[in-house]
């Protein structure tokens, strides 16, 4: 997976993630929108064949978009760990 920075300013970040799709796009967008310092977050896949989502993040105040992106990624990692533990527990019960 390769990340290309398309635009970067103190409160805005636009990146393209090669090899990703709607699964990562939806999860990351949802998690970003839960961050209190995010003013706007979304993604688009401009062409169905290219399938490289382009993420746009705009933050409030002095918070850098790179930091909220890192926070959102860490939060999704933690959610994934919790899901894995619950799934393993559910399989043991059956």
What's the total number of domains in the chain?
Answer: 1
Instruction: Please report, for the domain that includes residue 79, its CATH number.
Output: 3.30.1360.10
**Which residues make Cβ contacts (< 8 Å) with residue 15, sequence separation at least 6?**
3, 4, 5, 6, 54, 55
Read off the pTM: 0.85
In the prediction, which pLDDT does 13 show?
98
Tell me which H or E stretch contains 9.
Answer: strand 2-9
- Mean pLDDT, the chain, whole residue set: 93
Q: Would you say residue 46 has pLDDT above 90?
A: no
Q: What does the pLDDT look like over 23-40, one tens digit per residue?
A: 899 999 999 999 999 999
Query: What band does 19 get if pLDDT is binned at 50, 70 and 90?
Result: confident
* Residue 88 lies in domain: 2-93
Angstrom distance (rounded) from CA 50 to CA 79:
28
Q: Check: CB of residue 13 under 8 Å from CB of residue 3.
A: no
94: pLDDT strictly greater than 70: no
């Amino acid at each position: 997976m390769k990340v290309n920075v398309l635009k970067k300013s103190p409160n805005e970040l636009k990146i393209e993630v090669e090899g990703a799709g709607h699964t990562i796009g939806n999860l990351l967008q949802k998690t970003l929108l839960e961050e209190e310092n995010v003013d706007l977050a979304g993604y688009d896949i401009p062409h169905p064949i290219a399938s490289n989502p382009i993420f746009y993040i705009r933050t409030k105040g002095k918070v850098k978009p790179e930091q909220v992106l890192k926070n959102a990624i860490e939060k999704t990692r933690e959610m994934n760990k919790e899901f894995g533990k619950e799934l393993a527990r559910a399989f043991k019960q059956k």
